[in-house]
Amino acid sequence: MPLLYFWENLKMRTLKDINFKNQRAIIRVDFNVPLNEDLQVTDTTRIKAAKPTIDYILSAGGSCVLLSHLGRPNGFEQNLSFQNIIDKISEILDHKVLFCKTCIGSEAESKASSLLPGEVLLMENLRFSPEETKGDLVFSEGLSKLGTIFVNDAFGTAHRAHASTTIIANFFQYNKCFGSLLEKEVLAIDKVLKDGISPILAILGGAKVSTKITIIESLLEKVDHLIIGGGMVYTFTKALGGKVGNSLCEPDYCNHALELIDKAKQKNVTLHFPVDVVAGNTFSNDARQKIFDVMEIADGWEAMDAGPKSIKKFHDIIIKCKTILWNGPLGVFEFPNFSEGTIAAGKSIAEATINGSFSLVGGGDSVAAVKKFKMDQDMSYISTGGGAMLESLEGKTLPGIASLN
């Protein structure tokens, strides 16, 4: 797989390889956190995840200049300014964080250069400047002038060739490294795809086969078992001659589904599909429910969760596997009445983890599910990257990581 060869050839320079004493470290963090209408942070996970890297550099005698984006602004938008949440960030990091209302130019450089060892400065939202997402060279150079060392600790944006994630690294020949979080993310994925202990299981949920084809193809090279769940099940059902009722289905991808089934056989990978499903007569939490055989979903009914037989089947598979990757829920978990399949899968993975298996949860919806049902403490590792995690599973080179080589 390209990703594994790419990582194997990469010299992972970590925090321990750099002398931070009296140095200013520019840290690309991921503080793209959700806010409510009162501009309060509703999930502090990403801020907490950056703390070990910041603490390490400060304890080593350095200072920190933090770079991040927040949301998808179109130019300056007051409600997406980091100034709104600087106090919360300081509270979570347990350290006074200074703020600069710009991120390049004379004011930014002056504030950064005046930092004393042990101080932390957060620059304004990078995406207020369109040059950030364009990977502009001049903008990147401006960012590089804020410090003497570059540390990338933002796995969630490692798949983007943006100014602060990738291009900036070109201005640091040797003084650049992985942050603690980025290092953990790489090692966690390696522990599944490169060093996984058999039997290795991947659980893939999600709505559409079309978005998961390359991921499935890549995983077939590495896993022993593959559970398919979520809306994409019903494209396979239709491809195999079953009836899908009103369930989500991509008829144009039926041939792709059959090809994936054949590839799995060639690779000696056992594919597992639901055997029964919980369907609703409308797409809502309050829909009437009925259980169908997965191959016999009646017209007027939409499958929205794994059924009781499927839950038992999946549990028996999960519990015997030593390495488990979970990407995507098994049903419409946002509806409480159709969340049982996803909850049960999480409980089974937690039980396997307690018994010594390694479990990695990655991808936005599966992470959201384990947090919603308070199972996040029961998993070995939860990835902070959505798109980056998906692209890594596809075997793609992540520019934010490649630039550190």
For residue 189, give Cα distances in angstroms to 186, 245, 308. Answer: 5, 37, 31
Please tell me the least confidently modeled range out of 190-194, 277-281, 311-315: 190-194
Of 175, 167, 119, 130, nearest to 150 (Cα)? 175
Assigned token pair, 369: 């599910």
What is the fold, at CATH topology level, of the domain defined by 11-182?
Answer: Rossmann fold (3.40.50)
Q: What is the mean pLDDT of the chain?
A: 93
What is the per-residue burial (b if ≥16 Cβ within 10 Å, else e) of 204-237?
Answer: bbbbebeebbebbbbbbebbbbbbbbbbbbbbbb
Kindly report the CA angle at 369 between 293 and 200, in degrees rounded to 5? 70
Where do the domains of the chain lie?
11-182, 196-393
pTM score over 0.85: yes
* Percent of the chain topping pLDDT 90: 83
Rounded to whole angstroms, the Cα distance separating 113 from 283 reads 56
Query: How much is the pLDDT for 365?
Result: 79
Give the tens place of pLDDT for each residue, 221-262: 999 999 999 999 999 999 999 999 999 999 999 999 999 999
The strand pairing partners of 193, in sequence order, are none
Give the tens place of pLDDT for each residue, 348-357: 999 999 999 9
Q: What share of the chain is helix, strand, coil (3-state, %, to 5)?
A: 40, 15, 40
Q: Do domains 11-182 and 196-393 have the same CATH topology?
A: yes
- Three-state DSSP string of 146-190: CCCEEEECCHHHCCCCCCCCCHHHHHCCCCEEECHHHHHHHHHHH
Q: Just list the catalytic residues.
A: 46, 208, 364, 387
> Which homologous superfamily does the CATH classification assign to the domain defined by 196-393?
Phosphoglycerate kinase, N-terminal domain (3.40.50.1260)
Q: What is the mean pLDDT of residues 312-338?
A: 96
φ, ψ of residue 304 in degrees (nearest 5) = -135, 0
Query: How much is the pLDDT for 331?
Result: 94
Secondary structure class of 31 (helix, strand, coil): coil
Secondary structure class of 98 (helix, strand, coil): strand
Rounded to whole angstroms, the Cα distance separating 93 from 261 reads 48
Residue 52 has pLDDT above 50, yes or no: yes
What is the per-residue burial (b if ≥16 Cβ within 10 Å, else e) of 337-357?
Answer: ebbbbbbbbbbbbbebbeeeb
Instruction: Please classify residue 310 by burial: count the beta carbons closer than 10 Å to its beta carbon, then call 0-12 exposed, 13-18 middle and 19+ buried.
Output: buried
Rounded to whole angstroms, the Cα distance separating 75 from 186 reads 33
Residue 183 has pLDDT above 60, yes or no: yes
Determine contact, residues 360/380, Cβ cutoff 8 Å.
Answer: yes
The strand pairing partners of 98, in sequence order, are 121
Amino acid at 62: G
Q: What is the mean pLDDT of residues 160-164?
A: 97
